[in-house]
Amino acid sequence: MIMTYKKLTRSTTNRKIAGICGGLGEYFTLDPTIIRVFFLLALLFLGGGLLFYLILWIIVPES
């Protein structure tokens, strides 16, 4: 049996700013719009959405 592993990368095709939401959508097989709404809500209500996005932008490599 061959195991394949997913690798989290920033999307180069489904991107609005840096491709973080598109990459997370591909990794978790979710619609990137749902993840974008999550980041927006985290920004508005928790205040940490922007910081988390910037950290992911630095850490996650581009595909």
Range of the domain at 37: 20-59
Specify if 48 maps to a domain: yes
Which regions in the chain score pLDDT beneath 50?
none
Specify the pLDDT at position 32. Answer: 92
What pTM did the predictor assign? 0.81
Specify the pLDDT at position 31. Answer: 92
Largest CA distance in the chain: 46
Q: What angle do CA 57, 58, 63 make, to 5 degrees?
A: 65
- Please state the domain count of the chain: 1
Specify the pLDDT at position 39. Answer: 85
CB 53 within 8 A of CB 20: yes
Specify the pLDDT at position 11. Answer: 86
Specify if 15 maps to a domain: no
Specify if 53 maps to a domain: yes
